[in-house]
Amino acid sequence: MSAGLAALAARLDEAARTATATAQLIETHPDLTTEDAYAIQRLSIQRRWQRGETRAGFKMGLTSRAKMQQVGVSEVTWGRLTNAMRQQEGGSLRRSAFVHPRAEPEIAYIIGKPLAGEVSAVEAMRAVEAVAPAMEIIDSRYANFKFSLPDVIADNSSSSAFFIGSWVRPETDVANLGIVLEVDGRAVEIGSSAAILGHPVRALVAAARLLGRAGESLMPGDILLAGAATAAHALRPGEHIRAAIQNLGAVSFTVEA
């Protein structure tokens, strides 16, 4: 089965590299498990590392209770970040480099000490060096943005790019911050950081637990994207996208063709 998983990983990697939609994996592999999906994700990211990309951290997905119920799961998902996925804050994002990209505002943590396994919120925060406003660009490589849970996990939990704003002190309270996602100066989504599992630190705790189970750890220098705080906005060329997060600041970019 490992050869089959490697072939699926290559297919998803090529779809991402060429910005070409592909069919859901479960269409030809209906028995695909979440364990298989994470193995495919790892193999796909390894292909990026072989091309010279390096580790930048992790992202959490399905961090909304409503989204969990909608998908029928009780646990969040995770994906991997590479240095090539990081974009310059205030810069531009090329729309043609993606299949159907969407932006969602998030809170980012940068890790100062190793963290893995079962930890409390207090223990998790002791490993945090700073927090920042962020935006993640999600981009399912599947046709019509349609997928099952194993599909999305295999596809790196839809993570494609990210922007990070200015870092602030780790003790900054992020429990219930107002968040506005703007397009060309107009608010299109309004939410709260409390939408991230009730408190973003729970995403950090979940990351430590899930990565520990997978034999991984959050390491110094890793960025962790805690999860979406609002619905995602589908990107169109020419738009200026800005996410403003109360007490943290803002992060923005312009969409190119």
Two tokens, residue 89: 């804050």
Beta strand extents in the chain (DSSP E only): 55-61, 77-82, 86-87, 92-94, 102-111, 128-138, 159-164, 178-183, 186-192, 223-225, 233-234, 240-245, 249-256
The total of structural domains in the chain comes to 1
CATH number at residue 22: 3.90.850.10
Q: Which of 57, 86, 81, 248 is nearest to 164 (CA)?
A: 86
pLDDT computed for residue 67 by the predictor: 65
Distant-in-sequence, close-in-space partners of 40: CB < 8 Å, separation ≥ 6: 5, 8, 9, 12, 25, 153, 154
pLDDT computed for residue 70 by the predictor: 58
Q: Report pLDDT digits (tens) over 76-133.
A: 899 999 999 999 999 999 999 999 999 999 999 999 999 999 999 999 999 999 999 9
pLDDT computed for residue 148 by the predictor: 86
Q: Which of 15, 22, 92 is nearest to 48 (CA)?
A: 15
Which domain covers residue 252, as residue numbers?
Answer: 2-256
Q: Give dist(CA 180, CA 186) in Å, integer.
A: 9
pLDDT computed for residue 74 by the predictor: 67
Location of structure tokens 């223990």: 123
Residues with pLDDT less than 50, the chain: none
pTM of this prediction exceeds 0.85:
yes
Inter-residue contact 57 to 84 (CB < 8 Å): no
